[in-house]
Amino acid sequence: MTVIVLTNCPAGLRGFLTRWLLEISAGVFIGNPSARIRDVLWDEVQQYAGQGRALLAHTTNNEQGFTFRTHDHNWHPVDHEGLTLIRRPNAAAAPRSDSPKPGWSKASKRRRFGRA
């Protein structure tokens, strides 16, 4: 079984994938092509994705029963003692939009952000 998920990719790429896979939702393709066809499809996805992101998941003979590949994705697969895990970006490093900027008065912070 093969699943390809596209985000913000050209419509032509989606049309190309419908030749081999079934689009079950917008940008989500599923099917059971051979390993050779799957690799050719993934090469085409990487080449024509443009600014978009792509994720490929397929069954394989390992302990998890599947593996996956990513293209221009913030979450990256990491091998950890034989298991493939996803490394997510650190949320603490990203600036929070709901926190007040320096220099705001205490009254303004209470009024805008509801803090006592």
With beta carbons less than 8 A apart as the criterion, state whether 53 and 13 touch.
Answer: no
Residue 66 has which token pair? 């599947």
Amino acid at 13: L
Domain ranges of the chain: 2-89
Per-residue pLDDT band for 97 (boundaries 50, 70, 90) equals low
pTM of the model: 0.73
Mean pLDDT across 52-80 = 90
* Higher-scoring residue by pLDDT: 34, 86: 34
Instruction: Give the residue from 36, 107, 108, 38 showing the smallest Cα distance to 69.
Output: 38
67-92 pLDDT per residue, tens: 989 998 888 888 888 888 888 887 66
Q: What is the DSSP letter of 101?
A: P
pLDDT of residue 82: 83
Q: Which residue has the higher pLDDT, 87 or 5?
A: 5
State the DSSP H helix or E strand holding residue 104, giving kind and residue range, or none if neither. Answer: none
Tokens of 91: 């949320």
CATH tag, 2-89: 3.30.70.240
For residue 50, what are its two tokens?
A: 């443009």
Measured CA to CA, the distance from residue 1 to residue 20 in angstroms comes to 12
Report the pLDDT value the prediction gives residue 17, as an integer from 0 to 100. Answer: 96
